[in-house]
Amino acid sequence: MMAQPQQERSRTTRRRLVEAAVECLAEHGWSGTTVAVIAERAGVSRGAAQHHFPTREDLVVAAVVQVGEAQIEQLRGQVRKLPSGASRTEYVARMLLDLYTGPMFRAALHLWVAASTDATLLATLGPLEARVGREAHRVALELLGVDESEPGVRETVQATLDLARGLGLANLLSDDTRRRRRIARQWARMLEQALPVPGGNRSGVAFVSKTS
């Protein structure tokens, strides 16, 4: 009879821990993010935190991956609400190039940098991070309305997301919003040149691979 409320409480506890972990990582970095600090921020006992996530690595990696996936899912929800026609590319370019400018990217960045000198953390983070990266790539294809079997499309979409991560980095030490807006405008024009046209209404240029 008590199973449902118990499960619900458990889910709420997990959600609070995950959100607190991302905030804590974004604000204090890896060395300042301990299970005790996260549990206190989440209003959860340290024992309960360790019941859900045995180690700091488990908790923080799960947090960054879950929040990253939720953010991608949110983008996916916007595919049907996009404007049509010429303004679509600029709208999508701006959405994608803003993707890595919030607390979620800060948290992930602290974790990536920590993992680059910590083999245990890397072993946990690596495969999950690769999965989130593939999901981001798929949603970018959907938002841009392009098919990556066309030559050059995959690399153009990859470049878009790598550019977005570079812009996330540029936004780390100071607010880079205005510069990023101008880059997104130019980027939209470059995408219109580089990508085949969804629906075939515009005269985009599909680059043919000269060498493979």
185 scored as a contact of its own copies (CB under 8 A): yes
181 and 156 in contact (C-beta within 8 Å)?
A: no
Figure out which of the listed residues 40, 190, 196, 197 binds its own copies, where binding follows CB under 8 A. 190
Identify which of 90, 105, 103, 78 has the alpha carbon closest to the alpha carbon of residue 182: 90
Query: C-beta of 155: minimal distance to its own copies in Å?
Result: 4
Q: Where are the alpha helices (DSSP H) in the chain?
A: 3-28, 35-42, 46-52, 56-76, 87-97, 103-115, 119-144, 153-170, 177-194
Which residue among 15, 28, 51, 131 contacts its own copies (CB under 8 A)? 28
Residue 144 exposed, middle or buried by CB count within 10 Å (0-12, 13-18, 19+): buried
Residue placing its CB nearer to its own copies in the complex, 67 or 183: 183
- Residues numbered 54 to 113 that lie near its own copies (CB under 8 A) are 106, 109-110, 112-113
Residues engaged in binding its own copies (CB under 8 A): 27-29, 31-32, 106, 109-110, 112-117, 122, 125-126, 129, 152, 155-156, 158-159, 161-170, 172-174, 179, 182-183, 185-187, 189-190, 193-194, 205, 207, 209, 211
